[in-house]
Amino acid sequence: GDVNIVVTTDLHSWIQGRRHQSYLNATLGHAISMVGHLREAGRRVGRDVFFFDNGDINDGTGLSALAPDHVSYLTLLMRE
């Protein structure tokens, strides 16, 4: 089957969205949900969907700034 690739950049793990920029107001959860829907749609028609984020997923949020390693708080949320 066909291969479909979804690529994002600079999501910065936006847990709370971007209320100050309504045209960009989506959270990391929205992105993950979208990929889940695309994968399910692809599965129904025999196509693979791969998701790649090419940077800055760990830096740029309050949660990432709190942890010394910049990821320990975020990885707990991403596992759910």
In this structure, how many other beta carbons lie within 10 angstroms of the beta carbon of residue 73? 18
Return d(Cα 38, Cα 15) in angstroms, integer. 21
pTM here?
0.61
Predicted local distance difference test score (pLDDT) of residue 77: 66
Mean pLDDT for back-to-back runs of 10 residues, the chain (80 residues) = 80 70 78 90 91 70 64 66
Angle subtended at Cα 59 by Cα 52 and Cα 8, rounded to the nearest 5 degrees: 25
Return d(Cα 30, Cα 33) in angstroms, integer. 5
Predicted local distance difference test score (pLDDT) of residue 53: 79
CB 38 within 8 A of CB 31: no
Predicted local distance difference test score (pLDDT) of residue 22: 79
